[in-house]
Amino acid sequence: MSLFQASPPDEFYQEIATRLNAAGIQAGPRRTIAYGFQFQVSTSEWSTLLRVYQKKSGAVTVDYSQVRNSQAEAALKAAIAGREVSTPQTADPSGTLKNLAALPLLIGSDESGKGDYFGPLVVAAVCLDQQGAARLRAAGVTDSKALSDQENLSLASVVRKVAVSISVKVLLPEEYNARYAATARAGGTLNDLLASVHAEAIQRVAAESGCTTVLVDQFAGERVLDDLLAVRYPGLRVVQRPRAEQETPVAAASVLARARFLEDLDLLGMPYNVHLLKGASAGVTKQAAQMVDRYGSGVLRTVAKIHFRTTSKICRDY
C-alpha cells in the first residue's frame, strides 16, 4: 500500500523546487515512485537524485541517501531547511533501545537468498518470549551464516516448536522476478522490495502475538520499512541496527529463513535433475549457462533472480 492515496500533491514538489531554485540548484521534473517521488537536482558542479516521502500523518521526509557528494548534501539541506522532518518515530536506526532481552516479547526478522542467484527470496519473522529465547540459545541457535546447512535445517524445527508466532514469506523466482520488475518500474530498488516482504512477515507475527517491538538487521531500505509498518501496524516499534542477528529472535528468523531457502532450492532443481548451487560464484554462472543451453533462456525465470549480472553474462534475452 502506498503512503500516497494518489500521486503526491504538487505543492510538496513545488515548494521544495522553489527553495532549491532560490539557492541556485536546478530541480528537474518529478517522477512518482513507491511511497513518494524523486527528481534530479543539479548545479554546474554536481548532479544527484533527491527523494521525498510522506507518512500517513502528512509529515514529509526528504531522503538524501542517493546523494554521494558531501558538498551537494550540505547545499541541499541548507536550501530545504524547514521542509525536512526528522527520522520517523518508529525508527531506531542506531539501536538506542536498551535491554531488548528484558522485553517479555520480541519479534526478530531476517532474510535469506538475497545474494543467491538461484532460488527464492525468503523472509522470516519470529516472536519469542524470554523463556523461548533461552531455550533456543541453549539449543545452539545463532546467526544462520555461522551454521552448516544441516544445522540450519535441524534447528529450524526447534524454532517452530518454541516460537510464540512465526511467519515465513517466500518469493519463488517467478514471483520474485515479477515483483522486482514492478518495483523497478515504480522507481524502487531491491531494498524497497525487501522492506515490503519484511513488512508482510512482521505484520502477521505482530497481529498474532500482540508484540509491540521488532528488531531487524539494518539495511538500506530502513525508512521504507519504518513507513510501511507505520501504515500496516501502527504502534509497532521498529529497531534497526547492524549485526542484529546477535539477538536470539533475529538469529531464529535467520535460521528459519535459511532452512526454507535450502528446502526450496532443492525443489526448484528437481524438474531439471540438477542440484542448484548456492551463491553467485563462477560455478553458479557455469551451471546457469548449462541449463540455458539445455532448456532455453526461459528456464532462468523459473529458477533464478534474473536481474543479477549473472544473467547478462550467459544470455542476451533479458
Q: Which residues are annotated as a binding site for a divalent metal cation?
A: 110-111, 217
Annotated binding-site residue numbers:
110-111, 217
Identify any residues that bridge with 127 across adjacent strands, giving them in sequence order. 107, 165
Closest CA to 195 of 166, 173, 162, 217: 217
Q: How far apart are CA 62 and CA 305, in angstroms?
A: 31
Q: How far apart are CA 138 and CA 274, in angstroms?
A: 36
Helices of type H across the chain: 10-22, 70-80, 130-139, 149-162, 173-185, 190-209, 222-232, 248-269, 282-295, 300-303, 309-314
User: Number of helices and strands (H, E) in the chain?
Assistant: 11, 10
- Binning the chain into helix, strand and coil, the percentages to the nearest 5 are 50, 20, 35
Closest CA to 169 of 269, 263, 256, 279: 256
Under 8 Å between Cβ of 264 and 119: yes
